[in-house]
Chains A and B, each alone.
Chain A
Amino acid sequence: MSSTGDARMQSAAPKAAFKLSMLLYDQRYRSITIQIVFLFALMLGIAWLVDNTINNLRALGRDFSFAFLGNPAGYDINQRLIEYDSQMTHGRAALVGLLNTILLAIMACALATVLGIVAGVLRLSNNWIVARLMTIYVEIFRNIPTLVWIIIFGAIMSESMPAPSAFRGDDPSASMLLGDAVAMTNRGVYIPAILFDNNLGNLNLGVVSPSINWILVLLAILGGIFAHKRIVAHATAVQNATGERPKTWWKTIAVIAGPVVLLFIFFGAHLEYPELRGFNFQGGIHMRNSLIAMWLGLGIYTGAFVAEIVRSGILAISRGQSEAAAALGLQPGKTMRLVILPQALRVIIPPLISQYLNITKNTSLGLAVGYMDLRSTLGGITINQTGRELEGMLLMMAIYLIVSLTISSLMNVYNNRVKLKER
């Protein structure tokens, strides 16, 4: 700091003469001083790290470039939600992997939530056997590493299920389930797929081109849910005015299922059944072993944690609440749904967010069973074939960070809606 600076400061605040030593000895300034010094040290450290990396890369004769993302990948990916073949780019392969990661994360989060809520509520059940069974589930699954569970489920799928050839012949040793609709083989589970006769084509969004038919179906479902909310709000208004709650269940079914059924009829929807042709089943949807192993492994494992979160949320609500609900004549089911759970949610949601984030990050274990997620495509094969470890890893870190922060912020929005409103 120059002397002119000191002079100006003194003229601005003549009463409190500022001395340099006050930065260290005056409590008002000390904490700020420490923070600024620390910030400088941190920035120096980061600068040193970056500089060192650049120097070492130069010493090795390597440049830092993401140009490899535009080169042909050359490898195939078995599970792809968007069009992809080995002649497309590494960037495209990474996108296929990212979509696989997101698909798995959504499936596992849904499974963990359902299992967790059921197990968490049942663990508090008065039924001794049910409560103990849930305790066993929770304690077994959360105390064994998730990777072990994934490998166990993968091994069960590939070792104990029949091979597709076992379905062949006049007297096959294995048969399809549910009227020849579902085939469980050691290469995965084949389920029927919904196909449309009247295709409206695909919506070209540049990178991806989803089917317009499915977009319309999705819009119909969203519209149905919105209409359902309006119906419920209306019913509540009627109830508040007259004391009588009108029946809403058939209206709900009509607004949600009706448009979808109409769309399906209009599009000429039919089921495509899997069928044994050549080496494998063809047609239908193929849920690969790797997907099933990851889904069950992550979903059931994390479900045990969610169960504990749900249980803690319910136990956090004082007993007086359920007693009051009972005194008002609410049935146990309604007590849980209308009184306990809405209050418990504010305790449940924050730790639930971390569990969802855990699931998303744990999808990167996919390589253990050959699941082609982001870690296996961009962070695995692409890095290996191009030798761009630093770029690939940085890009992968950035993508996981963005995905996690997005989940976190969406869940925070939800949390703000359910948390205790103080007026």
Chain B
Amino acid sequence: MKKSVFYGTLAATAVLAGAASAQTTLETVQQRGELICGVSMGLAGFSAPDANGVWQGLDVAVCRAVAAAVLSDPMAVSFVPLTSQTRFSALASSEIDMLSRNTTWTYSRDTDLQLTFVGVTYYDGQGFMVPRELGVSSATELDGATVCIETGTTTELNLADFFRINGMSYEPVPVESNAEAQQQYLAGACDVYTTDASALAAVRAAFPEPGAHVILPEIVSKEPLGPVVRHGDDQWGDIVRWTLNALIAAEELGITSANIEELKAGTDNPEINRILGAEGDLGAMIGLDSEWAVRAISAGGNYGELFAANVGEQTPIGLARGLNAQWTQGGLLYAPPFR
């Protein structure tokens, strides 16, 4: 017995010691030849496997762009589905290289949890969905309602605040995943499902009768969703941050997956030339080659193309650009200059 305790101790120590290796994340990923990306347990439009088992969505596309930039192969990504409860531990313990899982950027996560949010892929806000037959038209009419809520999320805290501020009571039904929430909501075990408005739209699109459910007009919080990396490896953080910025800048500058081959030969616009490696050597500054951004953008297109293909108005999810339009179009997307 004592012996097994001793070996167990040794094994546990070895695991702890392993976490403190000296290799950078970029080296680890390149040596492995594969990027390990944490995603959701399945949220249509953001990260969900399609009929062939290939992961698709806006969050997934960011992972693929990073893989394309770092490994020259957008498909060299292994996706790890994580619940909202396990996502940060998985990242902190180096189980995944980056987290791209509709995760809200908050102060305490950025600082206390030792994470780095590298940007925003989707400006979201928390909304409420109710069955149309309840006849509810505003979230302020929800006094006494039963609310399905994913535990361990910022929405859980916003929900508590919203009902407290408005002097209403509610009955929380904690669920562990988006899929379980849908099942409980459809079974009528809760009156209301609350989460990010984009996720509500995605969930509703997957319902047998999307028209029978309304998303209430109130948006009760700011939920900037973005990819996350660990503290302590700024080079890796820069790579993910500027890959995302390259996708956003590409839309602003009119670089699309269709014209990128033509543009990378050189254009009149020096910023396009710098991004695509025709001028200067921006890639070397983050430890990559000069064509990193070309590969990232070619992987699935620029931000606008990714948005349209995954969650845009032509898809069943049907989200408008809204806040997620370029700053030139009245939105919040604003990539810092590439120079």
Which residues of A are in contact with B by a Cβ distance under 8 Å?
A: 38, 41-42, 45-46, 48-49, 52-53, 55-56, 59-62, 74-78, 85-87, 158-159, 163, 165, 186-187, 277-280, 282, 289-290, 367-368, 370, 372, 376, 380-381, 384-387, 389
List 19 contacting pairs A-B, 8 Å CB cutoff, sorted by A.
Answer: A42-B9, A45-B10, A59-B20, A60-B92, A75-B157, A76-B156, A76-B160, A85-B164, A165-B188, A186-B187, A186-B188, A186-B189, A187-B173, A280-B144, A280-B145, A367-B176, A368-B176, A380-B151, A386-B108
B235 at the interface (CB under 8 A from A): no
Residues of A within 8 A of B184 (CB): 158
Q: Is the CB of A53 within 8 A of B88?
A: no
Interface residues of B in 91-139 (CB under 8 A from A): 92, 108-109, 112-114, 134
- Please, how many angstroms separate the alpha-carbon atoms of A87 and B12 in the complex? 37
Closest 3 CB pairs of A and B: A384-B152, A86-B160, A163-B188
Q: Is the CB of A381 within 8 A of B171?
A: no
Tally B residues with Cβ within 8 Å of A: 51
Q: Is the CB of A78 within 8 A of B174?
A: yes
By secondary structure, the A interface counts as helix
Residues of A within 8 A of B144 (CB): 277-280, 282
- Please, how many angstroms separate the alpha-carbon atoms of A256 and B175 in the complex? 43
Contact partner, A384, options B143, B151, B189, Cβ 8 Å: B151
Q: Is the CB of A384 within 8 A of B173?
A: no
Residues of B within 8 A of A86 (CB): 157, 160-161, 164
Q: Is the CB of A75 within 8 A of B85?
A: no
Residues of B within 8 A of A56 (CB): 16-17, 19-20
B89 at the interface (CB under 8 A from A): yes
B146 at the interface (CB under 8 A from A): yes
By secondary structure, the B interface counts as mixed
Contact partner, B160, options A41, A45, A52, A75, Cβ 8 Å: A75
Q: Shortest Cβ distance from B12 into chain A, in angstroms?
A: 6
B222 at the interface (CB under 8 A from A): no
Q: Is the CB of B174 within 8 A of A376?
A: yes
B312 at the interface (CB under 8 A from A): no
Given contacts A49-B9, A49-B16, A381-B156, contact A60 B114 (CB under 8 A): yes
Q: Shortest Cβ distance from A416 into chain B, in angstroms?
A: 26
- Please, how many angstroms separate the alpha-carbon atoms of A87 and B108 in the complex? 17
Residues of B within 8 A of A381 (CB): 151-152, 156, 174
Q: Is the CB of A279 within 8 A of B157?
A: no
Given contacts A61-B231, A279-B191, A387-B113, contact A187 B20 (CB under 8 A): no
Residues of A within 8 A of B157 (CB): 74-75, 86, 385
Residues of B within 8 A of A370 (CB): 151, 173-176
Residues of B within 8 A of A387 (CB): 88, 108-109, 112-114
